[in-house]
Amino acid sequence: MSLAQLGADVTGVDISPTAIAAAQTLAEETGIPARFVVADLYDWLPTQEPAFDVVFMTYGALLWMSDIDALFAALARVLKPGGRCIGLEFHPLAMMYEQGRLTYPYSGGAHVVGETGVGDYVAASGTALAPSGFVEGQVGFKNPHATNEFSWGVADILGAQLRAGLVLEVVREYLYANGCKIWPDLVEQPGRRYAPPAARCRRSCSAGRRAGRSNPTPGSSARCRPFMDDPRKTHLAHRPGAFSRPPRLS
Ligand SMILES: C[S@@+](CC[C@H](N)C(=O)[O-])C[C@H]1O[C@@H](n2cnc3c(N)ncnc32)[C@H](O)[C@@H]1O
């Protein structure tokens, strides 16, 4: 919707009829033109022509994908020559934790079944995910539906993109997530971001020094400050990792 508001001709795809109905309602109510399709990406992408300038995929999508080699191959195929694939995801390390405890495998597409289902992370994130105004809905929501997730590490993701023939242009790692409070003890930062508490980070940096590092590792001094405390850095948050398909040679 944001891209459509900027003038892009947008097609949004999701397997969930509920999600698509919500997107359509939002488009009608705001008058922002965008098309939405209920489909499984694995079925829909092979039916498309290579007609897209940009493929954009954000937070919380990759963990549902059982085969990222097939996914990125299909995404690369629908791009026009010179088109770009832009992604912004939770860091795979962050996805290893549950309630602050190391719980899940890191990589290889390990299948993770979550018996307790997806929690109400939108409510937990308050105004960060509802900037136009948070309205409290159901309290104490418990999801009865188990989840099937897949753990993809950084090399899995970058490798799948490269094997799909995409050219790596930009990869960035951020010390916060935009909008979503994925762990209960994350602290809200300016700009609707959530980051680990500075105190916890300070402890881990001190532990690193006690373990014999004479100097903090490059960048670690920045990690020990409250995240994004410098408003001059905020523009960096909107530079997601980007891949592009090389121009096709005829
Ligand atoms: C956490 S949400 C991501 C939301 C996304 N960042 C956005 O802003 O719309 C994950 C979405 O992926 C969708 N999904 C999961 N597997 C899918 C698939 N195979 N094909 C299409 N959509 C899928 C789910 O229905 C869900 O709406």
pLDDT, tens digit (0-9, with 9 covering 90-100), for 115-130: 888 888 888 888 888 8
Domain spans, the chain: 40-195+235-244
Apex 247 CA angle, 243 and 250, nearest 5: 155
Query: Closest ligand 1 atom to the C-alpha of 16?
Result: 25
- Which of 67-76, 93-102, 128-137, 232-241 has the highest average model confidence (pLDDT)? 67-76
Is the pLDDT at 211 greater than 60? The verdict is: no
- Which of 131-135, 167-171, 173-177, 184-188 has the highest average model confidence (pLDDT)? 167-171
Query: Closest ligand 1 atom to the C-alpha of 44?
Result: 20
Question: Which residue from 16, 40, 55, 120 has its CB within 8 A of the most atoms of ligand 1, so it is best to mutate?
Answer: 16
Instruction: For residue 183, give both structure tokens.
Output: 């762990």
Mean pLDDT of the 75-87 span: 97
Find out whether the beta carbon of 59 lies less than 6 Å from any atom of ligand 1: yes
239 contact partners, CB below 8 Å, separation of at least 6:
170, 172
Residue 85 and residue 240 in contact, taking contact as beta carbons nearer than 8 Å: no
Is the pLDDT at 57 greater than 90? The verdict is: yes
The closest residue, in CA terms, to atom 2 on ligand 1 is 60
**pLDDT score, position 220:** 33
203 contact partners, CB below 8 Å, separation of at least 6:
none
- Phi, psi (rounded to 5 degrees) for 155: -65, -35
Ligand 1 centre to CA of 214 (Å) is: 45
**pLDDT score, position 201:** 52
Find out whether the beta carbon of 14 lies less than 6 Å from any atom of ligand 1: yes
Confidence label for 181 from pLDDT (cuts 50, 70 and 90): confident
Confidence label for 200 from pLDDT (cuts 50, 70 and 90): low
**Residue 61: DSSP 8-state:** S
Mean pLDDT of the 106-110 span: 95
User: What confidence tens digit (pLDDT) does each residue in 22-39 have?
Assistant: 999 999 999 999 999 999
CATH number (1.10.3470, 1.10.10, 3.40.50, 2.60.40) of 40-195+235-244 reads 3.40.50
Confidence label for 199 from pLDDT (cuts 50, 70 and 90): low
Query: Closest ligand 1 atom to the C-alpha of 41?
Result: 20
- Phi, psi (rounded to 5 degrees) for 56: -130, 125
The closest residue, in CA terms, to atom 10 on ligand 1 is 61
Confidence label for 213 from pLDDT (cuts 50, 70 and 90): very low
